[in-house]
Amino acid sequence: MSLEHRIRVAIVDDHAVVRSGLAALLLAYRDLELVGEAGDGVEAIRLCGQVRPDVVLMDLVMPGMDGVAACQAIRSLCPDVKVLMLTSCRETASVKRALLAGVNGYVLKDVTPAELLKAIRDTAAGHAALDRVATEALIQVVTRTGSPGGDLTDREREVLALLVAGLSNPAIAQRLVVSRSTVKFHLSSIFGKLGVSTRTEAVALAMQRHLVS
């Protein structure tokens, strides 16, 4: 795989042995490139500002600034950088905090190497990478009275289906032959009707509630 098509990954974890193990895993695959490591949230923000990775593997519980706060800062500073939370934390409240902070994926550290690699690639491609624990927490986050998504228009369902398929805003605009601003308008309306605030939440809810075929 050519260098320009490799997924650029940064690792953020306060345990050096974890960073070392993850680095060894990434270096074994030609489509992945390790571009930096950080031991806490503050270092992660500085690192992302410098190297602009495609995906950040972010631990949740770290001294000082934790993964949630770091994710919020990174999304503000580098909105194109995707954050995949890799943690041992199973508590629903912590998962909810991470999802509401806008993480693009949430997986536990007991995943297999193959599952982690898939999560990294899915996250880089714009797909939601959520394990069972995160999905259950997400359902609680977005559950509202009534049936979310019942008032979506046909066009909004088209946009949502393409979002679930992993298409970016420009790709959705091209597929539907509309402007990018129109796509943003539809996404804003979709998020409002579903009661979510991120693409990851919208995709997970659409799949859970079978809102698109």
Q: For strand 32-38 and strand 82-87, is the pairing parallel, antiparallel, or unpaired?
A: unpaired
* pLDDT score for 137: 63
Helix ranges restricted to H, the chain: 16-27, 41-51, 67-77, 92-100, 113-124, 132-142, 154-164, 169-176, 180-194, 199-208
User: Domain residue spans in the chain?
Assistant: 3-141, 144-208
User: What is the arrangement of strands in the sheet containing 82-87, beginning at the earlier edge strand?
Assistant: 32-38, 7-12, 55-58, 82-87, 105-108, 129-130
127-140: pLDDT as tens digits: 878 877 667 666 55
How far apart CA 191 and CA 160 sit, in angstroms, is: 10
Q: Give the C-alpha separation, 38 to 58, whole Å.
A: 9
Q: What is the pLDDT of residue 27?
A: 93
Q: Pick 30 or 100 by higher pLDDT.
A: 30
Note the pLDDT tens digit of each residue in 154-207.
899 999 999 998 899 999 999 999 898 889 888 988 888 887 888 888 888 888
- CATH class belonging to 3-141: alpha beta
Q: Do residues 66 and 38 touch, judged by C-beta distance below 8 A?
A: no
CATH, domain 144-208, list 1.10.10.10, 3.40.50.300, 3.40.50.10800, 2.40.160.10: 1.10.10.10
**Per-residue model confidence as pLDDT tens digits over 140-160:** 555 544 556 677 888 999 999
User: What percentage of the chain reaches a pLDDT higher than 70?
Assistant: 90
Q: Is the pLDDT of residue 1 over 50?
A: no
